[in-house]
Structure 1
Amino acid sequence: MAQSGVRGDAPAVKDVTSVATRTEEARDTAGRHGRHGGGGRRGGRRGTARRPRRRRVLRWSATVLSVVILGTAGTGYLYYRHLNDNLETGRRSGGDSKAEKPQPNAAGQTPLNILLIGSDSRNSAQNLELGGSKSSVGSKPLADVQMLVHLSADRKNASVVSIPRDTRVDIPACTDPETGETYPATNRIINESLARGGAGCTLTTWENLTGVYIDHWMMIDFAGVVSMADAVGGVEVCVKQNVWDRPLPGVPGGSGLKLKKGKQKVQGKEALQWLRTRHAFYSDVGRAQAQHMYMNSMIRTLKQQDVFTDTGRLMNLAETATKALKVSEEIGSVKQLYDLAMQLKTVPTNRITMTTMPTDTDPQNANHLVPAGADAEKIWAMVRDDVAFDKNGKPSSKKPESTDKNKEASGDPAAADAEIGVLVQNATRSDAEGPVDGRASTVAGVLVEKGFARAAADTTSGLSMEKTVVRYPSAELEGDAQRVAKSLGIPLSSVQKSTDVTGVTLLVGADWRTGTTYPKQTPPKAGDVPESAGAINGSDSSQCMDVYAPYRW
């Protein structure tokens, strides 16, 4: 949420026309920013004295925010460039993703998905002072906090889903963009993904787990959290009992958080301690709930403030946010972060919902978690289908449309059924349940009965997919893949292009563990979030954390 440093509408500024124009022209000629296509309005602008419309002034309030603060064109542009130079960027994706971009709705709109990552890096004196041991210095950071922010296509609601750091998932093969080192695919807890190829690898891990295409990532470390908490001016949190998250006999660690019961503001190091507290809030799931309380409270605080009325604070927020964040390269400028913030700003607090992916105890390790089958898949289906997590929107008179209506049928006609080669694989294993023996042979037999004479079962074991999919390697086989899906009642949205296969391949997932007919999928409804997701509405200020008894004082 650090983008909020450029939130709000600027006050009227006298004689801003020529300043804004010259700043825009300077930006257009700067090679550093040219890659984002900012130069479409240069011709015939120099020297004009015509006053721009207020809308245009507001649109450029981020680009010329230093005009509001400092009042001069040269200094304004230099300050804008300085803020851009503060931003550190990295590659969006770090491995082979199975997620596809969503199709636009009838109005040409698409959802926006942003992955927020909190790094536990100790590789600076400031980060080391704020948490962790000296033995961690030099090691690659882990992603201790991971949240997906989903902004609906119509920009009227937002959903946030956390995955606890100790959740065991499949991490794909990734290449570290800084060192070139390649890491093989593995099945480990999700916070290790950051150390196996950077934030891009964490993003790809999420995409393959959820089937959700993620547009951008943003990452912040300990020091960044502290500086942003100070710049915001404190965030209100609540505990039901006095809390002290400290080492106990047989339980090392602890964030150091020490608060009296009730509501109070935290900022600086205390805010970081709140976000890191785990044992005192029972578990990683409890920590995620505390983080959601903090985020909701911060959003409410920022919405109540107009930072543009306090130029000194505005300058501090912009400076702090650009230094605190590392972002994926396609949003690596102040202008792009501002535009992103303006989209998020339109969502009212009662249309923001914070959740945690439902989990079960890992059968392989009682200290770890695994996705909770149907409940976890329901959350991701709602995100993929752009279904609101809240019920506070205006009810639609239209019946919910199948996502297949947004998925175009292939222009390449399918071959005759008897000529389509289909490899069927058993991917019914999930982290919570083992594979169902014989599923590939059973479904291959169904296809043969339907006339797909070249359908065959693969004896490969150990594959895992929460949802059944049909994959194809190249465009000329898309029609064949869609024909196979249609014959079994599998939605076209589950037909995916992938370089992992050499022909049409049907992976029978954990959603089809029994029977010869693909289970009919019921479209999720707004607000139909599983209770196990622990949903918290953004307008709910009554939330208060229960403290595990050993950590009370």
Structure 2
Amino acid sequence: MAQQFPTWGPRPPLRRRRVGRRRRAAYAATGALLALLLLAGAAAGALYLRFDGNISEIDIDAALGTDRPEDEPGESLDILVLGSDSREGENEVYGRQQGGPRADTAMVVHLAEDRRGGTVVSIPRDTLVHRPACRDADGEEVPAADRVMFNEAFAVGGPVCAVKTAEAMTGVRMDHYVEVDFRGFEKMIDALGGVEVSLDRPLRDPDSHLDLAAGDHRLDGETALALVRTRKSLGDGSDLERIQLQHSFIRALAQEVRNVGVVGDPRRLYRLADTATGAVTTDSALASVSELTALARRLGDVEPERLQTVTLPVGYDRADPNRVVPLEPQATGVWDALRADVPVPEHLTEGSDAEPGGEAEPPALSG
């Protein structure tokens, strides 16, 4: 049965199953992470060398050295998950790259020490932050900058700069890094056999070529990607609108993986594991099937009702209403909660424009 996507107020009509949209890649990176790791876990006994060779890796620990936040004691984990809008290689079919690849979806996934709970914190791509000095693809140092969009860090210095910026912003040490691009996301959805969603009214977007009637749908990879890239059909089309929907897709995709039932089908298990391990780039410490398997088992222990999803508390920037800035002290409180390994208190998101009912809530969509 398709999971229902609840609506809020008079806003866009997707139930919790709707899915984010944005000018570029707005896919549910955390859902992709859950799918990847759970599938890798299912493939624990199959062809390690074959699948190890699939995984692209970045040695972030070596690049960043010791100039990082202290790792909190205990066995909690924090993972930076990015969705890249790269148009290189197979991704050329999605259009020309305007400037360097950017991270249009960014989430910090916190897995609790007790292994039963977790928190996903979405960072809006348009959030203005301080970016530390980073090195570009040629090894040249790019000076630090203030009031730049969070996703600019990835464009400037790739995964290493993205992790460095996330750690400077949050004060949380990232134990791991996972990146999924357009094509990787699409392939993973197809390998799963699609994802079931339910819409409470039609959803159409000429830009993403999406045309879905109200009701239940099983989306293939191409349609799922179009769905999560759509933005103009909902609210003000902002990144904040997109993220609210994205959290719904996380749960839908994670549930799909849990229901897939492929352990008894060796050929399908192989295909899924091969696709999943080939769809991502990770930090070097995570870039093996054995490590992915261990993390998959840990994710499998998380109870769905204890997987908390929040968006970093933000407000529209007064100088540039197309950008947002972290609200203080709420934003700091969110990162404090992760470091303390406790759920984010509900009051910290009150008054955030990222939440339904925020003080500067975007205009409602009609029609």
TM range (shorter): 0.7 to 0.9
**Residue type at the aligned position of 2:49:** R
Aligned residues of 1:240 and 1:547 also touching (Cα < 8 A)? no
Q: 1:304: Cα distance to partner?
A: 2.6
Q: Counterparts of 1:113 and 1:3 in 2: how far apart (Å)?
A: 15
CA offsets per residue over residues 263-282 of structure 1, 9 Å max, x none? 42222111112222223233
Does the C-alpha gap of structure 1 residues 294 and 547 become closer, same or farther in structure 2, counting only changes over 3 Å?
Answer: farther
**Is 1:326 equivalent to 2:264 in the alignment?**
no
Q: 1:255: Cα distance to partner?
A: 2.8
Q: How does 1:46-85 map onto structure 2 within 5 Å?
A: 62=44, 64-65=45-46, 79-85=47-53
Q: 1:366: Cα distance to partner?
A: 1.2
Alignment equivalent of 1:115, drawn from 80, 97, 120: 80
Equivalent position of 2:141 in the other structure? 182
Q: Counterparts of 1:547 and 1:338 in 2: how far apart (Å)?
A: 44
Q: 1:352: Cα distance to partner?
A: 0.7
Equivalent position of 1:150 in the other structure? 110
Does the C-alpha gap of structure 1 residues 547 and 339 become closer, same or farther in structure 2, counting only changes over 3 Å?
Answer: farther
TM-score, normalised on structure 1?
0.55
Q: Counterparts of 1:360 and 1:530 in 2: how far apart (Å)?
A: 11
**Is 1:271 equivalent to 2:224 in the alignment?**
yes
**Is 1:284 equivalent to 2:239 in the alignment?**
yes
Unaligned runs of 5+ in 1: 9-60, 66-78, 105-109, 247-253, 390-524, 536-545
Q: How does 1:53-452 map onto structure 2 within 5 Å?
A: 62=44, 64-65=45-46, 79-92=47-60, 97-104=67-74, 110-124=75-89, 126-129=90-93, 131-132=94-95, 134=96, 136=98, 139-176=99-136, 178-187=137-146, 188-246=148-206, 254-282=207-235, 283-389=238-344
Does the C-alpha gap of structure 1 residues 534 and 265 become closer, same or farther in structure 2, counting only changes over 3 Å?
Answer: farther
Larger deviation, residues 270-279 vs 291-300: 270-279
Aligned residues of 1:173 and 1:183 also touching (Cα < 8 A)? yes
Equivalent position of 2:27 in the other structure? none
Does the C-alpha gap of structure 1 residues 363 and 326 become closer, same or farther in structure 2, counting only changes over 3 Å?
Answer: same
Aligned residues of 1:280 and 1:547 also touching (Cα < 8 A)? no
**Residue type at the aligned position of 1:257:** L
Q: 1:309: Cα distance to partner?
A: 1.4
**Residue type at the aligned position of 1:117:** L
Q: Counterparts of 1:208 and 1:320 in 2: how far apart (Å)?
A: 33
Unaligned runs of 5+ in 2: 1-32, 357-361
Q: For this pair of structures, how many residues does the alignment match?
A: 321
Aligned residues of 1:357 and 1:376 also touching (Cα < 8 A)? yes
CA offsets per residue over residues 119-176 of structure 1, 9 Å max, x none? 000112x3122x33x353xx42100010111000111101101111111111111124
SS of the equivalent of 1:197 reads: helix
Equivalent position of 1:13 in the other structure? none
Q: Counterparts of 2:336 and 2:218 in 1: how far apart (Å)?
A: 36
Q: How does 1:469-548 map onto structure 2 within 5 Å?
A: 530-531=349-350, 532=352, 534=355
Aligned residues of 1:88 and 1:332 also touching (Cα < 8 A)? yes
Does the C-alpha gap of structure 1 residues 121 and 547 become closer, same or farther in structure 2, counting only changes over 3 Å?
Answer: farther
Q: Counterparts of 1:388 and 1:222 in 2: how far apart (Å)?
A: 31
Q: 1:330: Cα distance to partner?
A: 1.0
Aligned residues of 2:317 and 2:323 also touching (Cα < 8 A)? yes
Aligned residues of 1:112 and 1:153 also touching (Cα < 8 A)? yes
SS of the equivalent of 1:159 reads: strand
More relative contact order, 1 or 2 (CA 8 Å, 6+ apart) = 2
Aligned residues of 1:116 and 1:149 also touching (Cα < 8 A)? yes
Aligned residues of 2:316 and 2:323 also touching (Cα < 8 A)? yes
Aligned residues of 2:41 and 2:292 also touching (Cα < 8 A)? no
SS of the equivalent of 1:161 reads: strand
Aligned residues of 2:77 and 2:111 also touching (Cα < 8 A)? yes
Q: 1:236: Cα distance to partner?
A: 2.5
Question: Which of the two has higher C-alpha Rg?
Answer: 1
Equivalent position of 1:16 in the other structure? none
Aligned-CA RMSD value: 2.3
CA offsets per residue over residues 436-493 of structure 1, 9 Å max, x none? xxxxxxxxxxxxxxxxxxxxxxxxxxxxxxxxxxxxxxxxxxxxxxxxxxxxxxxxxx
Aligned residues of 1:112 and 1:151 also touching (Cα < 8 A)? yes
Percent identical residues? 35
**Residue type at the aligned position of 1:155:** R
Q: Counterparts of 2:333 and 2:200 in 1: how far apart (Å)?
A: 31
SS of the equivalent of 1:366 reads: coil
